[in-house]
Amino acid sequence: MTGLRMERDFQRLDQPFDVLVVGAGVQGVCLARVLARSGLRVALVDRGDFGAATSHNSLKIMHGGLRYIQHLDFARIRESVQAQDDWRRAAGTLIRPLAFSIPTRGIGTRSPMALAAGMMLYQYVGGGSRRSLPPPGVRLGRAFQQRFPFVESAGVNGCATWYDAQILDAGRLMTECVADAVRAGCVAVNHAEVVGLRVERGQRVAGALVRDRLQGTEIDVRAGVTVCTAGAWSAALAAMLPGVAVSPHRTEWTRNVNLVLKRSLGPDTAVGASSSKPGDGLIGGAARLYFATPWRHVSILGTAHDPFDGPPDQLSISRAEIQELVDDMAVAIPGADLRVGDVAFVHLGLNPAEAAGRGRSKRAAISDRGFAGYLEVIANKYTTAPTTATRIARKLLQELGAARQEPADVGAPLPGVELLSAGAEPPADEFAWERRVYGTRFDDLIGLVDRDQGVSLETAVFRARVMLAAQREMAVTLADALFRCSDLAEQGRLKAEHVHWALDWMGRSLGWNRMRRGSELADTARRLDRHWCGGVDSAWAQLLRDTADGHERKETGG
């Protein structure tokens, strides 16, 4: 096997650190990685698994920033283009270029002339990084209707196309980023919750009290700077600060929803279709776009967002709300004959907004809340996590008086990711997908695939991914293995038999007793139900209970 081995060791938190990063979504992981590679002593903790919340729930797109042309936000375009380039340099085969096409209409902001001008301006503002992708362009006539007949085509007079990037496996990307941080010396611990902040002399934070959510033990973690990257859970951490702990500008949140379908809509292109809801551009009043993006053998539709005001742990969506969203999307793509029964999985996440009911936040918000040794980062976009991390790292290196003042290159290749030459593709065999997303770890995975047990290739690969996850990728709960380290659940193809096999194998390997197995199964069922895995008529809690009872009766001869 290769050198990748992430081992969870809660006791290693009992040492002094330069920086404690609280929250292991994409922003926290990127920050921990660049800080550790810059020579600082770093600890990274999260109350759940790495990237298990909003970072796991996305349309899988690395936006380069074309949509910010309508806001005339050139600084944000340059940042997005730079960040996209960083990701593409770092993540190799885990991120691929993807074509995007939208219909042109009329003579307004979505007309052929307006979009062609916008794309030319985008190429100019984006600079050299954009030149590594095919150039954008606009075609007149019926090009769009001919390629995408399922999209509503009233008034369409052309097709605008550009290239961005797509994440092929968000769980693999998160795992590789954490592994690289660990390789550089970071102490990363999942399922480790901050339950108190260490405040010295009234106004300086010197670390945090961290509780192991698996064992119940606690460690007083000492750190020169504590950085909160916990997203919607940041307010709970700030509430642990004495005195003035609430920002005068309360962060509003939006619930972001993406629907994974049970089928593919066809083209290997992300296709835009107009919603019945208005957009939030500075110029014009064009409708908001939904995108149908290809992924594996299915399509993902999104993103819809609406105001959310409640505890982040209670984030959910009802069947009626899914039906309403499907109905709206069906108007935009009438030829797809979209129905609520087509939904295989529902992605849910929380992103900051400028104000309740308005558009999403345009910038990452960084604040010390009036305390030395404390920094709160409310990130607004997956794509720009590397550039935000670099900016914060530069600030911390200077404040801590580090020998190295300039952060390490956040675009440096991840060690487990295979880098292909331009235009190259992995061999097109039955393991082509696994070769691409596992890169240099592919041999580790394939060595665990056992096809002699009379199971399908899909099931054999699933089992190998679970085993590798538990052995080498810090999957310490059943949900870690099913959501970060495998993708059957996200495809909506997970079955009760898969869950029970994983529970049995991990239970035996990790020494879980009957009570622990029961809690793992219950926690996993709740998460599968919350995301409507398998469709809106799935009921995982009952299904897993029934199959567990059936297994027990079979084993006891009942």
Distance CA 385, CA 314 (A): 25
- What pLDDT is recorded for position 552? 54
- What pLDDT is recorded for position 556? 47
Q: Is the peptide bond before 303 cis (omega within 30 degrees of 0)?
A: yes
DSSP state of 55: G
**What is 447-556's CATH number?**
1.10.8
For 229-342, strand residue ranges (E) read 252-261, 270-278, 287-295, 298-308
Topology of domain 10-54+171-247+369-399, CATH: FAD/NAD(P)-binding domain (3.50.50)
- What pLDDT is recorded for position 317? 97
Distance CA 94, CA 104 (A): 31
Q: Which residues contact 160 (CB under 8 A, 6 or more apart)?
A: 101, 102, 103, 104, 112, 115, 116, 119, 136, 137, 138
Q: Where do you find CATH 3.50.50.60 in the chain?
A: 10-54+171-247+369-399
Topology of domain 66-72+95-166+251-350, CATH: D-Amino Acid Oxidase; Chain A, domain 2 (3.30.9)
Distance CA 499, CA 454 (A): 18
Distance CA 255, CA 349 (A): 6
Distance CA 386, CA 388 (A): 6
What is the full per-residue pLDDT of the chain (558 aa) written as tens digits?
456 689 999 999 999 999 999 999 999 999 999 999 999 999 999 999 999 999 998 889 998 888 888 778 888 889 999 999 999 999 988 999 999 999 998 888 889 999 999 999 988 888 766 667 888 999 999 989 999 999 988 889 999 999 999 999 999 999 999 999 999 999 999 999 999 999 998 789 999 999 999 999 999 999 999 999 999 999 999 999 997 545 445 688 999 999 999 999 988 999 999 877 655 543 334 567 899 999 999 999 999 989 999 999 999 999 999 999 999 999 999 999 999 999 999 999 999 986 544 455 667 889 999 999 999 999 988 999 999 999 999 999 999 999 889 999 999 999 888 776 555 666 677 899 999 999 999 999 999 999 887 899 999 999 999 999 999 999 999 999 999 999 999 999 999 999 999 999 999 999 999 999 999 999 999 999 999 999 999 889 888 877 765 555 455 454
Backbone angles phi, psi at 11, to 5 degrees: -65, -20
E strand or H helix that includes residue 159:
strand 156-167
Q: Are 51 and 484 in contact (CB under 8 A)?
A: yes
Q: Where do you find CATH 1.10.8 in the chain?
A: 447-556
Angle between helices 496-510 and 540-556 (to 10 degrees): 70
- What pLDDT is recorded for position 425? 64
- What pLDDT is recorded for position 1? 45
- What pLDDT is recorded for position 451? 82
